[in-house]
Amino acid sequence: MMKGFTFFAVALSAATTDAFATPPQSQPARAVSPSTRIYESTVPANLAEQAKEISDEPLMNPDNPNLPALKGDYDWDAEYAADDDWITENVPGKIVVNEVDLAAQVTELTKLEDKYRKIREDQEYEDARIIGFVPKAEMYNGRAAMFFLVVGLLTEYWSGISITGQIEEMARVGGFIGPDF
């Protein structure tokens, strides 16, 4: 009960402070009590006008109006064309590769990509396996063995029957060993 009252008091005080006041509007002023101010929704007139100006249509690429504008698609050369330090021709460190070398690079990169794709697919396959000698199954098997070992030790402590005696009793109950007459 106290939490609800505290929350209501904080909300009421936040609603009546000047820190959250909206800018003055062109609407005529009217007398409002502090308790009704919580429930009123005041929207500035200029905000409604701004909402009308915002278009929902995506920006289009200026080079090809059929395509949307790409984020980060920026022409740095056009931006700094007037700058004397901005060079686009004979850039130091720029390597000019002929078509044969480029084709060789593409071939090698494709081989490298295929190699790492195969490694990733093998890893995903191993991670998805749940049956057989996989690490996840071995972990569950080890946990189950430790659980039942502890259960066997506690049963031996409370009943006085050794673990081998418990195994023999389970085999008799299961019908694997005949009754001892």
Q: What is the pLDDT of residues 71-119, one digit of tens each?
A: 766 777 777 888 888 877 777 777 778 899 999 999 999 999 999 999 9
* Percent of the chain residues topping a pLDDT of 70: 65
Q: Cα torsion for 132, 134, 140, 145, to the nearest 10°?
A: 70
- The reply to whether the predicted model has a pTM over 0.75 is no
Q: What is the pLDDT of residues 117-174, one digit of tens each?
A: 999 999 998 888 878 888 888 889 999 999 999 999 999 999 999 999 999 988 988 8
Residue whose structure tokens are 């919580």: 38
Give mean pLDDT, residues 32-50: 54
Structure tokens that stand for 63 in this block: 């080079």
In this structure, are residues 32 and 59 in contact, taking their beta carbons and an 8 Å threshold?
no
Quick check: 39 pLDDT over 50? no
In this structure, are residues 63 and 41 in contact, taking their beta carbons and an 8 Å threshold?
no
